[in-house]
């Protein structure tokens, strides 16, 4: 996903960080489904009617944003 891995945080803390720092609602939902629920890129792409590559880019950008605030 991201160049730097997300530190191993408790689910509640990670969810709080996502809610606090990912402002776009769709992106927030995608990242929660990926990081908290462990859903793979392809099912997320289908669920959100996006390409797999778009979902990967969203996850990478959001993870970079989260890491910058940890």
Rounded Cα distance between 33 and 15, Å, is: 10
Rounded Cα distance between 70 and 66, Å, is: 7
Please give the chain's pLDDT, 70 residues, in tens.
Answer: 446 678 788 999 999 999 999 999 999 999 999 999 999 999 999 999 999 999 999 999 999 999 998 8
Assessment of whether the complete model's pTM goes beyond 0.85: yes
Measured between alpha carbons, how far is residue 53 from residues 19, 45, 48 in Å? 23, 8, 12
Q: Is 59 helix (H, G, I), strand (E, B) or coil?
A: helix
Rounded Cα distance between 39 and 41, Å, is: 7
**CATH fit for domain 11-68, picks 1.10.10, 1.10.357, 1.10.3470, 2.60.40:** 1.10.10
């Amino acid at each position: 996903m991201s160049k730097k891995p997300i530190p191993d945080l408790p689910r509640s803390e990670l969810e709080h960080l996502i809610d606090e720092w990912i402002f776009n609602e769709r992106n927030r939902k995608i990242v929660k489904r990926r990081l908290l629920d462990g859903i793979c890129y392809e099912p997320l792409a289908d669920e959100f009617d996006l390409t797999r590559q778009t979902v990967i880019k969203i996850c990478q950008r959001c993870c970079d944003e989260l890491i910058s605030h940890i």
